[in-house]
Structure 1
Amino acid sequence: MKAAMEDRTPRINAVLYFYLFYLFYFSTQPKSRFAVTIAVSSRTLFNMVEERKIYEEDGVETYVKHQVEHESEPLKPGAAFPFVKALMNVNSRLRELYPDSEELFDIVLMTNNHAEVGVRLINSINHYDLTIERFCMTGGKSPVDYLKAYMTNLYLSKDAEKVTEAIEQGIAAATMFMPDTQTVLSDTQLRVAFDGDAVLFSDESEIIVKQHGLDTFFEHEKEFENKPLAQGPLKCFLEALGKLQKKFYAKNERLNCPIRTYLVTARSAASSGARVLKTLRSWGLVIDEALFLAGAPKGPLLQKIHPHIYFDDQMFHIEGAKELGTISAHVPYGIGQKYHRGKLIEKPETKE
């Protein structure tokens, strides 16, 4: 009898260990119903330029073989890496103030990689001590159709087509770009910068600029100053950030809040700024800093802010920002996609 009990002891201990782990894990992980879910692709979280080249030049089998052979070597950080680290810092602060709260950032790795590549991804995540427990590896299929099932608040990818598809499904999304130079970012405060039109707001006012010019735009904004702009693709993400900010304010931590938001817009404050601020007020949202540049380049100002991510719908603003070291994310939405530096992009005629 004693021998039989001794034989069962390891199994009992294993079951007990699993049960305790289960309780601990699910008590510390955010529930998707309450969490702010950030879905990142493997190529945004990690720098996989070399691996991508193998995939494109030699095919999927060689790519998978390479990943398996190098699975003990951690991948290098990618464009979204500092952003994810900053999200984790916010979670740590939230848990200090609200030990039982489920309102946290939940980071999901959303990738069309094959499951065999998963070991290297897991090893890399563990190497950098990242808290990413939920994976979606679709084996070559687009992961976009899974975003709603994961209750995604923001999707970040290197694939512009997938990002466009996500936005069309009503999900906040952006294509990420590595900066041309490295910048030191805050490790205690998440800083998120947004453009206004076609990002936080719809492109309704930008359409007027493009089609009728600035004078008509200024007149329009004055006339409709008290009419809120329609929401843009990233409004819901700003809303989610604001929800978490209020949890810090409730604990008298406003001045020490680990989340800071910025509006960086080409609008002029005097001629078209009031409508923007009144729109945010009508939504019940507060932006920490509103910077109206009246058409001046955004890059130098962003260089002073050091955001972990900057969202803009215009590629020339993205290019200017990343040249000066800002991690940028392009939002492919609105009429601005048909223009570059204010000029209509001419499409070649198709032959029938």
Structure 2
Amino acid sequence: MAATLDGKLVVAISSRALFDFEEENREFEKGDDRAYMRLQLDRLEQPAPPGVAFSLVKKLLAFNDAEAQRVEVVILSRNDPVSGMRVFRSAQATELKLERGVFTKGREPYKYLRPLKANLFLSANPNDVRAALNEGFAAATVHTRSVRASPNYPNEVRIAFDGDAVLFSDEAERVYQAEGLSAFQQHESSKAALPLQAGPFKPVLEALHRLQSEGMRIRTALVTARSAPAHERAIRTLMDWNIEVDEAMFLGGLHKGEFLREFEPDFFFDDQTGHIEHAAQHVPAGHVASGVANDQR
């Protein structure tokens, strides 16, 4: 029987998102490809330290067992194939069962997301992330200086999502940007019974909800700047999708970082760079370059 990724949660991830290759990357950014390759080859037997998304990946892979392979993690990297050897060696040293990888030696890797049937793409390259989002994939730029995930929940995947332009479309955010808070609140109150359109990360939440229904230990949170009365439309939208989140925080503009610190997610996704900068001081975080807040003029 041919190998297949059908029915799995597929996470495509760059080497810098999974491992801490920041020192090596500084060599790469100097433009000397050969020096970078030599450095990686010289360090072949030296496992790279865990990166921002390491905890998330390790926990997701733990959902696989002899009975079912529920999750596939694939390295999708601008690295060259030689440097890719160190990525796989580092994975082996840290007991991550990674079998597949695509290395493009500096070229855009996002076109391989489609044959991989990827549900999620995590990268440290914002251009690759934006390209993936434009192609309809859930993608986020990891904040490489984020603190690492808390060790307090070793057997539970914990993920937090912003709402507008992440789980939901940016319809309401456009009203807020154009007309202000009062108009936003009125708009959402008048449309409380009308579900929001899906944002780029709805399929990720759906996949996690499916795994939860199979008994996998996952805890999700909606962490949004919305407040009452705009909270109702968000809740009703999730109900319309038949998706539950375990926690919801309607913060009315308060900084999200301290609340995320208490939730202790393995990863947090938000479309606002300011929110990500603050959240990254407390939890692993990634920027979703989606919606009106990220429109390129």
Which residue of 1 is the match for residue 108 of structure 2? 142
Superposition CA RMSD, Å: 1.8
Distance 1:172 1:327 in 2: 17
Q: 1:239 to 1:183 in 2, by over 3 A?
A: closer
Which residue of 2 is the match for residue 14 of structure 1? none
Pair 1:259-2:259 in alignment: no
Letter in 1 for 2:135: Q
> For each residue in 1:239-279, what CA deviation from the matched residue of structure 2 results, as whole angstroms up to 9, or x when unmatched?
0101111111xxxxxxxx511100000100x2101111111
Q: Does the CA-based 8 Å contact 2:52-2:147 persist in structure 1?
A: no
Task: Flag the structure with higher helix content.
Answer: 1
Q: Does the CA-based 8 Å contact 1:64-1:117 persist in structure 2?
A: yes
Within a 5 Å distance, the mapping from 1:253-292 to structure 2 comes to 257-268=216-227, 270-292=228-250
Which residue of 1 is the match for residue 294 of structure 2? 337
Distance 2:274 2:217 in 1: 30
Which residue of 1 is the match for residue 181 of structure 2? 214
Aligned match for 2:195, one of 204, 211, 228: 228
Q: 1:247 to 1:150 in 2, by over 3 A?
A: same
Structure 2 alignment gaps of length 5 or more: none
Which residue of 1 is the match for residue 36 of structure 2? 63
Q: Does the CA-based 8 Å contact 2:148-2:284 persist in structure 1?
A: no
Displacement of 1:100 in angstroms is 3.2
Displacement of 1:179 in angstroms is 4.8
Whichever of the two has the greater Rg, that structure is 1
Within a 5 Å distance, the mapping from 1:77-226 to structure 2 comes to 77-91=50-64, 95=65, 99-102=66-69, 104-182=70-148, 184-185=150-151, 186-226=153-193
Distance 1:206 1:129 in 2: 42
What number of residue pairs does the alignment pair up?
A: 296
Distance 1:61 1:121 in 2: 17
> For each residue in 1:148-172, what CA deviation from the matched residue of structure 2 results, as whole angstroms up to 9, or x when unmatched?
1000000000001100000000000
Pair 1:237-2:204 in alignment: yes
Which residue of 2 is the match for residue 12 of structure 1? none
Q: Structure 2 length normalisation: TM-score? A: 0.95
Q: Does the CA-based 8 Å contact 2:52-2:146 persist in structure 1?
A: no
Displacement of 1:183 in angstroms is 5.1
Runs of 4+ in 1 over 4 A off after TM superposition: 179-183
Q: Structure 1 length normalisation: TM-score? A: 0.81
Pair 1:305-2:277 in alignment: no
Pair 1:52-2:25 in alignment: yes
Q: Equivalent pairs: percent with the same residue?
A: 37
Q: Does the residue aligned with 1:148 lie in a helix, a strand or coil?
A: helix
Q: Which moved more, 1:174-183 or 1:155-164?
A: 174-183
Distance 1:136 1:58 in 2: 21
Q: 1:180 to 1:234 in 2, by over 3 A?
A: closer
